[in-house]
C-alpha cells in the first residue's frame, strides 16, 4: 500500500510539472535528445578515448594561447547549455588544419580547425560554431547515431556489428587518419540532428549574450565559400538541413529578437585570429604508432590487457552474464558486443574490426523449446552460414558438438578466420535455446592469444543464467 501511494504522488507531481513547464520557458523551441543505449558515462569514456587518438593522429595547433581562448569562449557557452544535469569534462583544442571544420566527440571533447577560426568574421560567429558543437554533445547525438546504427546493423549482420559501431567510412574530421573510434557513426550526424544543434546553438548564443544572428551568418559564409571553392568540410560532418538559415532566424524571432547590446566581436578574437594565421603550416598526419605496444607474435598490433578477475554483470534479453570488469560493452537490449580495451583493430580502410572480444545476441526468435535438439542444430547451422557469409575466410574446425549452458543442451563449435591482428583467428561459437530464441556467443581472439583469453570466455559461458518466467 505504501509503495502504491508513493508511486501515485510521484506521477501526479510529474504531470503538474509537465503542465507547468511551457509557461516557464517562453516561446523557445524545446528540444529532446533521441534514443540512446549508452550511458552519459560511456559518452565520456568513448569521447576521452577517441580524443586521445585524435590528438595523436591529427596535427594539433599546440598553441596554449589559442586553446586557452577557445576554452574561455567554450566555458562561457557551457554555462548556458542544458546538459540535463550531466557534468561533462569539457576540453577545447585547435587543430592545425586549414579545412573549415569543427567537431565534438561525445562527452565534451571539442576540436576546432584553424580553418574555422580563420573563416569566422567575429567572435560571435566562432561562438556560433562552438555552440552548435556543444549542442551535439549535450543532445548526445554521437551515441544516438551509434545506437541507431546498432539497431540497424545488429539485426542484419553479426560480425559487421562491431565494425559499424566503431568506424565505417572515415568521417571528414578523421580523413586519412585511420580512425578507429570516431568514424562516421559518431560524427556523421543526420539532418535532423543538425537542425537540433542549430536551434539549440542559437539559444545558447542568445543566452550567453552573443548576437544570435552570427550562427546564420557563419553558414552564409560557408555557402558563399562553397560557390567558389566547393563545399567546405564542415558540411560533410554536419550535413546542411533544408532551410538552415531560415530556421535559425525563426528561432531568433521566437526568442524575442536580437537583444540590445548583444556582443558581436572582441579585440581578443582579432588577436587570436592573427595568432592562428601565424601558425606554422599544418604538418602531414603523424605516423600511427600504438602506445604501449607489446609484442606477442602479432606484429605491430598491441595485445589488449588480460581480462580482469572482477566482473561486471549484464542483462540482455532474458539472460544474465558476467564479464571481465575491464571490458567495455556496446550494444542495445538484446545484442551486445563486449570488448577488451584495444580489442577493436583498425583494418586500414577506416573500418574498425573486432580482434578480441565477444558478440552475444539472440537469433531465431521463434524457437523457444530448449530441448528441441533439431531446432538447436538447425539454428546453429544457419548462424554459421551467416557468419561465413560475412567472413570469406571463415571455416569450421570442430563441431558442432554437445555442450551445456545454464543446465540446458547447447552446442560448441570452433571456427577459424583471418584475424585483423594478422595470422589466424579462433572463433568459438556457443549456442543454446533460451527463453527468447537461439542465444549465441561468438568468442573472438587471434589463435596465438586464444589461450590467454579462453578462461575468461569460459567464465562468461559458465555465468549465463536465464530468467525462467
Q: Which residues bind Zn ion (CB under 5 A)?
A: 194, 197, 238
Q: How far, in Å, CA of 413 to CA of 427, rounded?
A: 8
Cβ nearer to Zn ion, comparing 238 with 328: 238
CB of 10 to Zn ion, least distance (A): 36
**Distant-in-sequence, close-in-space partners of 361: CB < 8 Å, separation ≥ 6:** 154, 158, 334, 335, 336, 439, 440
CB of 194 to Zn ion, least distance (A): 5
CB of 356 to Zn ion, least distance (A): 33
CB of 189 to Zn ion, least distance (A): 5
Cβ nearer to Zn ion, comparing 195 with 417: 195
Cβ nearer to Zn ion, comparing 119 with 344: 119
CB of 246 to Zn ion, least distance (A): 17
CB of 132 to Zn ion, least distance (A): 5
Q: How far, in Å, CA of 169 to CA of 171, rounded?
A: 6
Cβ nearer to Zn ion, comparing 238 with 244: 238
Select the residue whose beta carbon is closest to Zn ion and give its number: 238
Q: How far, in Å, CA of 47 to CA of 110, rounded?
A: 10
Contact between 154 and 335 under an 8 Å Cβ cutoff? The reply is yes
What is the SS3 assignment for 33? Answer: coil
Q: What long-range pairs does 376-380 form, CB within 8 A, spacing at least 24?
A: 376/409, 376/410, 376/411, 376/431, 376/432, 376/433, 376/438, 377/411, 379/431, 379/433, 379/437, 379/438, 380/411, 380/413, 380/429, 380/431, 380/438, 380/440
Cβ nearer to Zn ion, comparing 81 with 162: 81
Cβ nearer to Zn ion, comparing 49 with 238: 238
Cβ nearer to Zn ion, comparing 105 with 464: 105
Contact between 402 and 460 under an 8 Å Cβ cutoff? The reply is no
CB of 232 to Zn ion, least distance (A): 13
CB of 197 to Zn ion, least distance (A): 5
Cell of residue 80, nine digits = 548556458
Cβ nearer to Zn ion, comparing 171 with 343: 171
Cβ nearer to Zn ion, comparing 196 with 417: 196
Q: How far, in Å, CA of 79 to CA of 208, rounded?
A: 8
CB of 198 to Zn ion, least distance (A): 8
**Distant-in-sequence, close-in-space partners of 100: CB < 8 Å, separation ≥ 6:** 113, 115, 116, 119, 222, 225, 232, 233, 234
Q: Cell numbers 557469409 label which residue?
A: 389
Number of residues in the chain: 469
CB of 190 to Zn ion, least distance (A): 10
Measured CA angle at 399 (ends 329, 155), to 5 deg: 35
Q: How far, in Å, CA of 199 to CA of 172, rounded?
A: 23
Cβ nearer to Zn ion, comparing 238 with 329: 238
What is the SS3 assignment for 275? Answer: helix
- Cβ–Cβ contacts within 10 Å for residue 342, how many? 18
Cβ nearer to Zn ion, comparing 191 with 377: 191
> Which residues make beta-bridge pairs with 466?
319
Q: How far, in Å, CA of 89 to CA of 252, rounded?
A: 29
Contact between 325 and 308 under an 8 Å Cβ cutoff? The reply is yes
Q: How far, in Å, CA of 152 to CA of 20, rounded?
A: 38
CB of 135 to Zn ion, least distance (A): 8
Amino acid at each position: 500500500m505504501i509503495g502504491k501511494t508513493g508511486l501515485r504522488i510521484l506521477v501526479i507531481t510529474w504531470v503538474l510539472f509537465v503542465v507547468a513547464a511551457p509557461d516557464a520557458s517562453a516561446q523557445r523551441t524545446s528540444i529532446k535528445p533521441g534514443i540512446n543505449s549508452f550511458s552519459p558515462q560511456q559518452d565520456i569514456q568513448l569521447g576521452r578515448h577517441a580524443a586521445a587518438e585524435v590528438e595523436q593522429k591529427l596535427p594539433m595547433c599546440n598553441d596554449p594561447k589559442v586553446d586557452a581562448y577557445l576554452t574561455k569562449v567554450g566555458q562561457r557557452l557551457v554555462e548556458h547549455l542544458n546538459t540535463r544535469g550531466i557534468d561533462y569534462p569539457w576540453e577545447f583544442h585547435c587543430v592545425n588544419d586549414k579545412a573549415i571544420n569543427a567537431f565534438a566527440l561525445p562527452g565534451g571533447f571539442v576540436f576546432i580547425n584553424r580553418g574555422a577560426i580563420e573563416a569566422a568574421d567575429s567572435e560571435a560567429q566562432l561562438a556560433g560554431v562552438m555552440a552548435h558543437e556543444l549542442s551535439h554533445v549535450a543532445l548526445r547525438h554521437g551515441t544516438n547515431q551509434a545506437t541507431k546504427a546498432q539497431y540497424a546493423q545488429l539485426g542484419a549482420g553479426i560480425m559487421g556489428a562491431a565494425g559499424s559501431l566503431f568506424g565505417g567510412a572515415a568521417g571528414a574530421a578523421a580523413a586519412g587518419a585511420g580512425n578507429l573510434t570516431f568514424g562516421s557513426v559518431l560524427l556523421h550526424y543526420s539532418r535532423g540532428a543538425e537542425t537540433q544543434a542549430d536551434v539549440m546553438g542559437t539559444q545558447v548564443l542568445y543566452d550567453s549574450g552573443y548576437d544570435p544572428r552570427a550562427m546564420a551568418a557563419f553558414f552564409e559564409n560557408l555557402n558563399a565559400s562553397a560557390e567558389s571553392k566547393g563545399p567546405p568540410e564542415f558540411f560533410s560532418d554536419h550535413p546542411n538541413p533544408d532551410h538552415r538559415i531560415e530556421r535559425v532566424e525563426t528561432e531568433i524571432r521566437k526568442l524575442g529578437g536580437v537583444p540590445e547590446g548583444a556582443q558581436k566581436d572582441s579585440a581578443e578574437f582579432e588577436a587570436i585570429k592573427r595568432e592562428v594565421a601565424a601558425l606554422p603550416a599544418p604538418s602531414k598526419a603523424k605516423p600511427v604508432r600504438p602506445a604501449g605496444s607489446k609484442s606477442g607474435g602479432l606484429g605491430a598490433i598491441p595485445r589488449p590487457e588480460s581480462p580482469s578477475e572482477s566482473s561486471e554483470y549484464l542483462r540482455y534479453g532474458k539472460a544474465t552474464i558476467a564479464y571481465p570488469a575491464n571490458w567495455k560493452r556496446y550494444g542495445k537490449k538484446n545484442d551486445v558486443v563486449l570488448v577488451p580495451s584495444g580489442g577493436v583493430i583498425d583494418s586500414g580502410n577506416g573500418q574498425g574490426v573486432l580482434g578480441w572480444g565477444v558478440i552475444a545476441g539472440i537469433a531465431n526468435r521463434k524457437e523457444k523449446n530448449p530441448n528441441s535438439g533439431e531446432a538447436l542444430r538447425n539454428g546453429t547451422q544457419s548462424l554459421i552460414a551467416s557468419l561465413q557469409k560475412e567472413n570469406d575466410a571463415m571455416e569450421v574446425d570442430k563441431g558442432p558438438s554437445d555442450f551445456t549452458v545454464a543446465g540446458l543442451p547447447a552446442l560448441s563449435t570452433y571456427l577459424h578466420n583471418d584475424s585483423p591482428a594478422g595470422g589466424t583467428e579462433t572463433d568459438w561459437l556457443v549456442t543454446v535455446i533460451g527463453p527468447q530464441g537461439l542465444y549465441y556467443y561468438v568468442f573472438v581472439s587471434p589463435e596465438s592469444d586464444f589461450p590467454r583469453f579462453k578462461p575468461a570466455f569460459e567464465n562468461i559461458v559458465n555465468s549465463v543464467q536465464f530468467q525462467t518466467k
